[in-house]
Amino acid sequence: MAVNAETTTRNEHRPSSTERPFGTTRHGKPVTEFTLSNPGGISTSILTWGGIIRTLVVGDRAGNPADLILGFDSLESYEARHPYFGTITGRFANRIARGRFTLEGATYTLAINNGPNHLHGGVDGFDRKVWNATTSSTSDAVHLTLSYVSPDGEEGYPGELSTTVTYTLTSRDELVIEYEATTTKSTPINLTNHAYFNLAGHNSGDILKHELMIDAERMVPVDDTSIPLGPLAEVAGTTFDFRTPHPIGERISQVGIGYDHNYVLADAPRELHLAARVIDPKSGRYLEVLTTEPGVQLYTGNYLDGTLTGKGGATYQKHAGFCLETQHFPDSVNQPTYPSTILKPGETYRSTTVMRFGAR
């Protein structure tokens, strides 16, 4: 990967951004890495390839910084198939049963790329696109806005979908992700970011001792292909109950290979509200996730197996990271009792997620 001189807009007293080339795709498209920094010492780097959050550096309780995001050092590794490290996933995050849905009298067939089902927008979803980028800043925040126009019929979805995703790093140690989209035809949409976190540092082993709280009384029960089974299930008295904090690994052996389940957030959808909180007892770092979405998918890196070489030569073993993917429920387009994921012409899809960091 060739790296040229950085373009910098930096002021140590306010959030700022830098940018640098991050290589060229196999199809000849240049990719840029933008780094957003705030005066508190938090920084994050984001690629125009897939809107990937590649790094996120946060200090521990003693002020020692560490990169919390699982990922790679090269564009070539991201272009190879990988488990959606840090990507924007869409048009439809999570699964659609058998890759089929019917909308306004027409049946649509999508790629089958996860067992018998469609996952995360297909073979070449939003995670594999080069997005256009612009930056801006205010006295207390720096913004990176990515945009992509998905053609009518791309990956089998109807309508030309115009999407923007804005990453904002604030002076309050928050990374805010705001999604907007419009369409020319009615279409399903369910966008999220698939960052894998390890609050001890991306190369620090597993996350089983991280303490997790999820503000959810119900979850979506699924079959062995992760498609909803039926009515929403109460979490009380089960291994899925994180209403009070529990170590992620405390009961993980009772749910097969690990958690990969969608939680129904209390009183959602509504205004921005707390969905989850995670604390690493060793470093003191914590993450709070707030969202306007009705659900959050907890995934615990169950299929990581040590075969991927990550940043700095790190080896990512099973449970090396966790994901909290704010979103609608899986297969919502085929589940009439779930909150609707259909966007119609003349409407604007909007979704906001806030990730708040600190140490104690």
In sequence order, the 6+-apart residues with CB closer than 8 A to the CB of 219 are 232, 233, 235, 240, 261, 262, 263, 264
**Per the residue annotation, which of 174, 261, 325, 328 is the catalytic one?**
325
Contact 339, 294 (CB under 8 A): yes
Task: Please name every residue paired with 265 in a beta bridge, in sequence order, or none if there are none.
Answer: 216
Paired tokens of 292: 């306007």
Paired tokens of 48: 């125009």
Residue with tokens 């126009």: 149
Contact 341, 188 (CB under 8 A): yes
Any catalytic annotation for residue 273? no
Handedness of CA 246, 208, 323, 319 (dihedral sign): negative
Kindly report whether the peptide bond that precedes residue 294 is cis, defined as omega within 30 degrees of 0: no
Percent of residues in the chain assigned helix, strand, coil, to nearest 5: 5, 45, 50
**Per the residue annotation, which of 118, 120, 143, 194 is the catalytic one?**
194
Contact 158, 106 (CB under 8 A): yes
C-alpha–C-alpha distance, residues 290 and 9, integer Å? 29
Any catalytic annotation for residue 194? yes
Give the other-Cβ count within 10 Å of 114's Cβ: 16
Give the catalytic positions in this structure.
194, 325
